[in-house]
Structures are given as structure tokens and as C-alpha cells.
Amino acid sequence: MSSAVPLTHTASSIDQAHADEGKFHLFVQIAMLLGVITGVEIIIVYLPLAKWLVVTALSVLSLVKFLYVIFYFMHLKFDKLFCTILFFIGLVLAGGTATALLAIFSSKDSIPETAKVIYAERAAASVTK
């Protein structure tokens, strides 16, 4: 007198299982690709390249990683267009802010005048010793 329900697999449940397995493999492949891109970024930092080339390469690779993450891991690829536009507005704002900060702090004019005087005094003192 067992009340066990027989296990039956319908075609739709098997198809769903294969679809989930395919998504899992896709996510693993994308994660591995993101790891490779991160490795390339680390290598680029230590290469003897021009500063502008390093910054440009790192920015492009970061953008590629950002796009993979938002479209696949955050499922934005399958979401409404409004959400995609919202993320790109944030990307443009963040990119503009980062570019402005790099421009401001890479300029020699960003050093305060008092610091310039201190550096000049130290340089003069080290020459006289």
C-alpha cells in the first residue's frame, strides 16, 4: 500500500534540463573569458608601453568585461531596452568622470603651489649637501 508517485519525465522537463545545462556551460565559458581578460590586463600593466596606450587598452578591456557582465550575468540581454539604456547612461557618466579625473590629476597644474615650493627647497638642499 505505498502511495509513492511514479517518476515520469515529460519532454518539456527534459528540454528544460538541457537548456539549463547549456546556460550553465555558457556562464562558465564567459567566466573563463573574463578571467583571461583580467590576466591580459595584468600583463599589460607590466609591459614597457606608453602610458596612453596602457590606459587606453585597460579602458577598452574593462568596457568589454563590463558589457559581458551586464548582458549575461545580470541577464540584461533578455531584459527590456529601458534597463539597457539605463546601464549605458551610468557607463557614460562613470567613463566621463574617470576621464576627467585622469586629466585633472595627470596635469602638472594639479600640484599645489606650496608643494612646488617645498619640492624646490628640498631639491636645492640636496644639491648643496
Q: Where are the domains of the chain?
A: 11-79, 81-129
What is the C-alpha to C-alpha distance for residues 19 and 73, in angstroms, rounded to an integer? 16
What is the C-alpha to C-alpha distance for residues 99 and 94, in angstroms, rounded to an integer? 9
Which residues make Cβ contacts (< 8 Å) with residue 59, sequence separation at least 6? 95
pLDDT number for residue 78: 77
Using alpha carbons, select from 21, 33, 24 the residue that is nearest to residue 69: 33
pTM above 0.75, yes or no: no
Which amino acid, residue 50? A
pLDDT mean across residues, the chain: 82
66-124: pLDDT as tens digits: 888 888 887 777 788 888 888 889 889 998 999 899 888 887 776 777 777 777 888 88
